[in-house]
Structure 1
Amino acid sequence: MTCSLLGNSANAASPLVFKAGNLSINPYGILDLSLQGGKFTDDHPGHTMVSDGNLQASRIGLKIDYALGNSGYGIRAFGERGLVLRNIWRTGYNEGRISTNRGYGAGVTGPFGSVDMGSLYMPIYWVFLDSDVAMYGLSNMASIMSLEHTTTLGKSGTGGFYDTTVRYRTPEVHGFSSELGYSYGNSSIENGPDQNRTSGFNLRYRDGDTRLGYGFNQHDSAPSLTTGELYRQNTHVLSGTVRLGGVLWGANYVYSERDTDVRWFASAQMVNARITFGPGDITLGVSHRIEAEGARAWATHAGYLYSLNTNTQLYTYVSHIENNADSGQGFALLSESYPSVPKGYDPWAMTAGIRWGF
């Protein structure tokens, strides 16, 4: 099982690889389904539903590698398509049952590192993901990721794949590596040639459980498709992990600002931990966000993950967001219908599910 072929792989078991000479083909996938309940907003009753992707987004993917003899150089192609499992048997959902919010690309590898082109994550993403010690990242720490992933970073941060992207990765030397990325965006006549241009870089150090990193991202965007007023958003991320005794700790700090007429900024801090307990792991986390115009929010998370084997995990967790009178942060990653709530409302959610990878 390979977690992502569009960047770093993590928690890999024996991969499913077909080889013929210098050619290798690696299909892979993740299926994640759960039962989820909670009170997501105050003007609708609490409810329980079948959901998917609550530990890790469901997907299918393919990676193809071709080695150029014994030169150390090679070429590769890769791609992922998202799955919506709760609607896989139905028609008419988003014009189909397979979403297209994943990435793809092709590139060249060698002693120099690698160069790829396609729809890719920007370099800041991997620094951000390094700070999550709960094994898989993103939606498993739903409350914390809602704070940092959605509101704080927006389009300029880790919020998805960027079209028409070129990236370069250095080889890892004594634990140090770096990455540069540039997206040409999808500019329109109304907004000019710089619409959605994005660039960034990262610096990372990895040595076992110890990780340190810094990432920077610059994104140009317009408030709407009908105005030519562009703004530039700059985002900085610092992250790190360390093992102290039997506890693996991770933390990050995020700061993001836009050069609009009315100054907008947001910052967030997150600390999380993974503790081996019995046959599985306890995961705990807390995050705090400060945003312009007085918005403040706290988020907490507690969960348990049990591995049946290297590819199959059972999980459960509960998450809570506490908003002040000026903040309306909702569970954007757990409930697409309620990414925001009335200001001052405190949503909560809990889920139990199973994740299987191949």
Structure 2
Amino acid sequence: MEAARTAGWLVVAAAATVSGMAQAQGSVTLYGVVDAGFQYVSRTANAQGQNAGRTFAMTDGGAGPSVFGLRGAEDLGGGLKAIFGLESGISLANGGFNNSNGNFFGRQAWVGLTGPFGSVKAGEQFSPFFLTLFDSDPRGFSSFGSGIVPYGDNVFLTGAVNARAVSYSSPKIAGFEGSVLFAPGGVAGDFQAGRQWGASLKYDNGTVMVNAAVYDGNPDGQPTPVPTGVAFWGRTLGFAYRFQSLTVKASFVNYKVAGAFNSNVYGGGVDYTGFAQFDLNGGVWYTSDRNDTSNHSLMGAAGVNYLLSKRTTLYGQFAVVNNHGAMNTGFSVSMPQILTGVSGTTFGANLGIRHVF
């Protein structure tokens, strides 16, 4: 399933080094992440949704996508700056594209302005809805066993990467900030085809965070190699509480997909960073189809990250999924065989290494 190539869409650590030319200009940053590992799942789904047996394979992006990108800024004076961003997904398995919507810079390709008023961007970019979901996820949208899995399972790429979009993000005022995005879409004879819009609002005082977002997307109108025009209405409400080294998060998401599930997803979990070189995290996600509550699933996942350095991490993850009725929640967006699952209980695990540059 091409939807597996969504693979984490947002999990890009911003730590970066600057190339020699970038250092001289002081305005361009080259950054990236490389991630690979091995993954085991006790049962996988075939084309008919039936159990095809266990799988063990190398996985590209076991914890998050492998990417590289460029970000730049030019000071225009008076607090105003011109900014741009270009980002591509890559596959460590074969050196080709992955997690990149089938295009060279299929993750991000935008230009804009930023200043005291906030930021305006034009081009391909993540939606406020998707960024809000990332903010509420206790496992940082890990490609394996996190809130990104029901996202990809329900709505493909829609709402993650938005082509031909314009967005505005406000400055932070008294802990509040907001964003809006509009992508007009349109094809010959149908100006509404592929139209997408989203909005978000967040309050964060450093200890308590509350966020909310909505998204609406029409079908068609997005002629990219990987379609991003699944029609759906989305809404979410999230919460986080930080106490020293412990962060607790919870969220509610609704994916109302035209002609398919109307899924409510309830998620929550913790992240603990109190050990010198370890990060421990875990979460649970319960999905229920509002059209038929006999369709439901429960996914639980836990992970441990061992920091070899500030840039290099070894990780291990374990997850269990139980599906009932027609629900087919899987494990990971990094492998097409396990984005969707089969009825009953399935477990899986992965081990890998991740480097940020």
Does the TM-score normalized on the shorter chain lie above 0.5?
A: yes
What letter corresponds to residue 323 of structure 1 in structure 2? Answer: N
How far is the alpha carbon of 1:330 from its aligned partner?
A: 2.2
CA contact (8 A) 1:32 1:356 kept: yes
Q: Is the 8 A contact 1:272 1:283 kept in 2?
A: yes
| 2:42 equivalent among 36, 39, 42 | 39
Secondary structure, counterpart of 1:85 in structure 2: coil
Partner SS for 1:301: strand
Say whether residues 1:142 and 2:145 are aligned partners.
yes
Post-superposition Cα deviations, 1:122-150, rounded to whole Å, max 9, x if no partner, equal 1111211111233xx22345254312x12
1:286 aligns to 2:299 (yes or no): no
Aligned to 1:48: 56
In structure 1, the residue matched to 2:183 is 183
| Larger RCO: 1 or 2 (CA < 8 Å, sep 6+) | 2
Could you tell me the percent identity over the aligned residues?
Answer: 22
What is the alpha-carbon distance in structure 1 between the residues aligned to residue 169 and residue 24 of structure 2?
A: 27
Partner residue, 1:122:
127
SS of residue matched to 1:133: coil
Equivalent residue for 1:274, pick from 258, 271, 274:
271
For residue 310 of structure 1, what is the aligned residue in structure 2?
310
Using the TM superposition, name which of 269-278 and 308-317 deviates more: 269-278
Give the partner amino acid of 2:168.
Answer: Y
Question: TM-score if structure 1 supplies the norm length?
Answer: 0.83
| Residue number in structure 2 paired with 1:204 | 202
Structure 1 residues 44, 280: CA separation in 2 closer, same or farther (over 3 Å shift)? same
From 27, 47, 50, the equivalent of 1:24 is: 27
* Partner in structure 2 of residue 62 of structure 1: 70
CA drift at 1:93 = 9.4
TM-score, normalised by the number of residues in structure 2: 0.83
Q: Give the gaps of 5 or more residues in structure 2.
A: 1-8, 45-49, 224-228
Using the TM superposition, give the Cα deviation of residue 315 of structure 1 relative to its aligned residue in structure 2, in angstroms: 0.6
| Structure 2 CA distance for aligned equivalents of residues 8 and 355 of structure 1 | 15
Question: Aligned residues, how many?
Answer: 332
Asked whether 1:238 is paired with 2:237, we answer yes
Unaligned 5+ segments in structure 1 are 1-6
CA shift at 1:243, angstroms?
2.2
**What secondary structure is seen at the aligned counterpart in 2 of 1:56?**
coil
Q: Does 1:356 align with 2:352?
A: no
- The answer to whether the 8 Å contact 2:43/2:51 transfers is no
| Number of the residue aligned with 1:3 | none
What is the SS of the residue equivalent to 1:221?
coil
Where 1:37 maps in the other structure, the secondary structure is: strand
Report the residue type matching 2:88 in the other structure.
Answer: R
Shift of 1:311: 1.2
Measure, in 1, the Cα distance between the counterparts of 2:106 and 2:12.
20
Contact map agreement 1:274 1:282 (CA 8 A) in 2: yes
CA apart distance, 1:223: 12
The answer as to 2:93 corresponding to 1:86 is yes
CA distance in 2 between partners of 1:93 and 1:61 (Å):
14
User: Quick check: 2:90–2:97 contact (8 Å CA) kept in 1?
Assistant: no
Residues 8 and 81 of structure 1: CA distance in aligned 2, closer, same or farther (over 3 Å): closer
The answer to whether the aligner puts 1:333 opposite 2:333 as a matched pair is yes
Cα distance between partner residues in 2 of 1:328 and 1:11: 30
Report the secondary structure of 1:124's partner residue: helix
Residue 151, structure 1, aligned to residue 153, structure 2: yes
Residues 52-93 of structure 1 deviation map (CA, whole Å, 9 limit, x = unaligned): 212121011001111013x110101110010100112xx799
Greater shift, 236-245 or 313-322, is seen at 236-245
